[in-house]
Amino acid sequence: MNKGFVVTPWEVSGDIDYSRLAKEFGTTPISDTLLKKIEKHSGKLHYMLSRKIFFSHRDLDILLSEYEKGTKFALYTGRGPSGDTHLGHLIPWIFTKWLQDVFDAPLYFQITDDEKYLCKRDLDLSQTTAMGYENALDIIALGFDPEKTHIIVDTDYSKTLYKIALQVAKKTTASSAKAVFGFTNETNIGMYFWPAMQAAPCFLPSILSGQKIRTLIPAAIDQDPYWRIARDVAPKLGYPKTSAIHCSFLPPLTGMSGKMSTSEGMQSTIFISDDEKTVRKKIMKYAFSGGKETVEEHRKKGGNPDIDIPYQWLRYFEEDEKKLRKIYDDYSSGKLLSGEIKQILADKISKFLAEHRKKRESARKNISKFILKD
């Protein structure tokens, strides 16, 4: 049946119906009661929660109830280093940093140079490892606490991870890997083993501490199939089931379908390394507009923020609720023109990236504080 979209760890395309996706994946929408429970600890909710950019979860309620009884948890997220970091990658990481601050939680950040070597035909291992260390700078630049943040580049931490992955692999059959990930007889056998490596950090905090530590994974929803495997095997191995909180995808610059990704082409993606001129040019030229054909008509009828990429991106990057609301109202009423909302976005993104790049450079000298090796 063609439902008009595809979401797997390797492909995201089409017009994604997120509530339908949550149903299909068997994840739970984040309820207002759960938001209140988070708010009790955080004071104000992060805008990615109140705007439902993070919209679904697995067992977050259980993890929080345990936390309220005094049980600490660890955070786990990751990055597949197949190229330069772009704005879409930063969304779950920005939110992860907030979770770390609110819950004072250690973070394990997996950089999967092994995975990207296995699944990308044109990349060799030395390239994915090098990209992994470059990507690590973008993670550090977001301000994670060096005392509590452990970045793992898989091939440099394989002694520890491999032993955990073996336990997972022994309890996972090829037929379940096929069912969950769509592997076929043509898939290389490295990929059949790979889900065990991505599940391993779910249990790493327990193994390192010798206690049963719960993990919470903030990540985009396409990674959820891995957590199904990890959660299936957890009780068999004597670990708590991992919890997850899922976000939607930053749409490509060129329109609402799919997610921003390097393979969608340069026009649809803003990289961390894009200078101000490039950022402005891409936004002015390529950002899909929900505005009307002519200024006259736009003034009369107003634009449609629901399909307007500059507005949609501001939902992801403009923290100030009042500012965002005013932009919404002015754009819908026709007071704000398409060129003007693009300027607002270009200003916001250019400023953010200029600051980010400074922090990224100073991260170079601190990187060893973050990297776990064995």
Please report whether residue 112 would count as binding ligand TRP according to CB under 6 A: yes
Q: Which two tokens stand for residue 149?
A: 């943040």
What are residue 73's phi and psi, to 5 degrees?
Answer: -130, 170
Q: Which residues of 191-221 are buried (b: 16+ CB within 10 A; e: fewer)?
A: ebbbbbbbbbbbbbbbbeeeeebbbbbbbbb
CB of 58 to ligand TRP, least distance (A): 13
| 39-47, 98-106, 109-117, 155-163 -> range binding ligand TRP (CB under 6 A) | 109-117
CB of 76 to ligand TRP, least distance (A): 6
| 108-116, 139-147, 301-309, 339-347 -> range binding ligand TRP (CB under 6 A) | 108-116
CB of 79 to ligand TRP, least distance (A): 6
| 20-28, 78-86, 130-138, 316-324 -> range binding ligand TRP (CB under 6 A) | 78-86
Minimum CB distance to ligand TRP smaller for 120 or for 335: 120
Tokens 């299936």 correspond to 232
Minimum CB distance to ligand TRP smaller for 115 or for 274: 115
Residues 280-319 that bind ligand TRP (CB under 6 A): none
Please report whether residue 79 would count as binding ligand TRP according to CB under 6 A: yes
Q: Which of 107, 219, 279, 349 binds ligand TRP (CB under 6 A)?
A: 219
Q: How far is CA 351 from CA 229, 274, 318, 356, 357, in A?
A: 41, 12, 12, 9, 10
Q: Which of 53, 99, 217, 314 binds ligand TRP (CB under 6 A)?
A: 217
Please report whether residue 78 would count as binding ligand TRP according to CB under 6 A: yes
Residues found in the chain:
374
Minimum CB distance to ligand TRP smaller for 95 or for 288: 95
Minimum CB distance to ligand TRP smaller for 38 or for 107: 107
Q: Which two tokens stand for residue 227?
A: 């957590």
Distance CA 374, CA 369 (A): 14
Residues 187-216 that bind ligand TRP (CB under 6 A): 198
Please report whether residue 77 would count as binding ligand TRP according to CB under 6 A: yes
Amino acid letter, residue 66: E
Residue 341 · residue 311 · CB < 8 Å: yes
**Residue 155 buriedness (CB in 10 A; 0-12 / 13-18 / 19+):** middle
Mind giving me the DSSP string for 233-263? Answer: HHHHHT-PPPEEEEE-PPPPTT-SSS---GG
Minimum CB distance to ligand TRP smaller for 172 or for 223: 223
Please report whether residue 110 would count as binding ligand TRP according to CB under 6 A: yes
Q: Which two tokens stand for residue 133?
A: 């260390």
Please report whether residue 372 would count as binding ligand TRP according to CB under 6 A: no
What are residue 150's phi and psi, to 5 degrees?
Answer: -120, 110
CB of 260 to ligand TRP, least distance (A): 13
Residues near ligand TRP (CB under 6 A)? 9, 77-80, 110, 112, 115, 198, 217, 219, 223
